[in-house]
Amino acid sequence: MTQQFLLQMAGEPGSGKSALARVIARRTGAVVLDKDVLKTAALHAGAEEALASQIAYEAFFDLAGHLLGQGLSVVLDSPSFFEAIPTKGQAIADKRGVCYHFVECICDDQAELERRLAGRSKLDSQPSAPESGDRTTVAPQGAYLRVDTLQPIERCLELVLEYVA
* Residue pLDDT, tens place only, 90-102: 999 999 999 999 9
State which residues form the domain around 24. 5-164
Number of domains, the chain:
1
- The order of strands in the sheet holding 31-34 is 31-34, 74-77, 5-10, 99-106, 145-148
Output the pLDDT for position 39.
93
DSSP 8: E
Return the percent helix, strand and coil in the chain, to nearest 5. 45, 15, 35
Q: Both ends of the chain: CA-CA distance in Å? A: 7
Q: In terms of Cα–Cα distance, which of 46, 18, 42 is closest to 117?
A: 18
| CA nearest neighbour of 79 among 133, 146, 11 | 11
Residue whose C-alpha is closest to residue 30's, from 60, 78, 80, 64: 64
Mean pLDDT calculated for residue range 80-107: 96
Q: Rounded to whole angstroms, how far apart are CA atoms 91 and 41? A: 26
Q: How does residue 2 score in pLDDT terms, banded at 50, 70 and 90?
A: low
* CATH for 94: 3.40.50.300
Answering whether pTM is above 0.95, one says: no
- pLDDT bracket for residue 128 (50, 70, 90): low
